[in-house]
């Protein structure tokens, strides 16, 4: 999730803090973060973490297993995310790959539903991966329905309002089912994509005192646990 902002923007907002400081704080990490002291993270009042598991149908994070186990042992609520490559294979194939490599969900109260990270293309100049808006909506729906069919939960969608507007035509098709995880590095959350009246998670900075990016849950700790259980 390091593809979201220019260097200038990242430097400008690195110290940004969210408006709601009483809500559960979280982080998201990938293979870029190694040797994480999960007990220290927990002791810094971090309550949840999303961990990169897969990308496309060709990559599994070498750090995923140790990160997931470490977060679990430290008592964090944790979940996994998949980096979308809609230019390579189908949404259904990528959802299955994600499920087969750490992306599952269970109603144990400590597992967050899997998240689909769909954003700017880090591998080329076309931010929409050469896919039309209608094709992109169909791809995301394919992924979402496949994930739901096997877990009973719809995946969280991680994106930015700009990317969603540009690359899906600002489709409102997912707001009724898919929780939104919005990325916006600023002191306020800004406009949301069509279909969503609120966001479940907000990634508000790409740095902080803990590893990875900084996130916040829209609710209190009891609601976070309820969300993890599927309630």
The single residue of 47, 55, 119, 206 carrying the catalytic annotation is 119
Quick check: is 28 catalytic? Answer: yes
The single residue of 28, 47, 55, 213 carrying the catalytic annotation is 28
Q: DSSP readout, 69-111?
A: HHHHHTT-EEEEEEE--TTTS-HHHHHHHHHHTT----SSSSB
Q: Residue 4 and residue 105: Cα distance in Å, rounded?
A: 27
By the 8 A CB rule, do 161 and 184 touch? yes
Quick check: is 119 catalytic? Answer: yes
Quick check: is 45 catalytic? Answer: no
Written as six digits, the tokens of 2 are 């390091």
Q: Which of 173, 152, 160, 200 is nearest to 50 (CA)?
A: 200
The single residue of 47, 55, 117, 213 carrying the catalytic annotation is 117
Query: Which residues are designated catalytic?
Result: 28, 117, 119
């Amino acid at each position: 999730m390091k593809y979201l902002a220019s260097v200038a923007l990242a430097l400008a907002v690195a110290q940004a803090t969210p408006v709601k400081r009483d809500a559960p704080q979280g982080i998201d990490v990938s293979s870029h973060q190694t040797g994480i002291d999960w007990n220290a993270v927990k002791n810094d009042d971090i309550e949840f973490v999303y961990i990169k598991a897969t990308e496309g149908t060709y990559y599994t994070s070498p750090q995923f297993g140790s990160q997931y186990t470490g977060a679990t042992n430290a008592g964090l609520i944790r979940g996994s995310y998949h980096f979308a490559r809609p230019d390579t294979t189908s949404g259904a194939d990528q959802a299955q790959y994600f499920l087969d490599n750490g992306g599952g969900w269970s109603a144990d109260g400590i597992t967050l539903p899997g998240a689909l990270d769909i954003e700017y293309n880090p591998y080329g100049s076309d931010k929409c991966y050469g896919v039309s808006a209608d094709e992109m909506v169909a791809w995301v729906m394919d992924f979402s329905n496949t994930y739901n069919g096997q877990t009973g939960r719809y995946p969280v969608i991680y994106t930015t309002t700009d990317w969603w507007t540009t690359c899906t035509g600002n489709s409102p098709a997912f707001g009724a089912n898919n929780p939104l995880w919005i990325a916006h590095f600023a002191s306020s959350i800004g406009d949301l994509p069509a279909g969503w009246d609120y966001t479940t998670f907000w990634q508000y900075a790409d740095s902080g005192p803990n590893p990875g990016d900084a996130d916040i849950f829209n609710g209190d700790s009891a609601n976070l646990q309820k969300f993890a259980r599927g309630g």
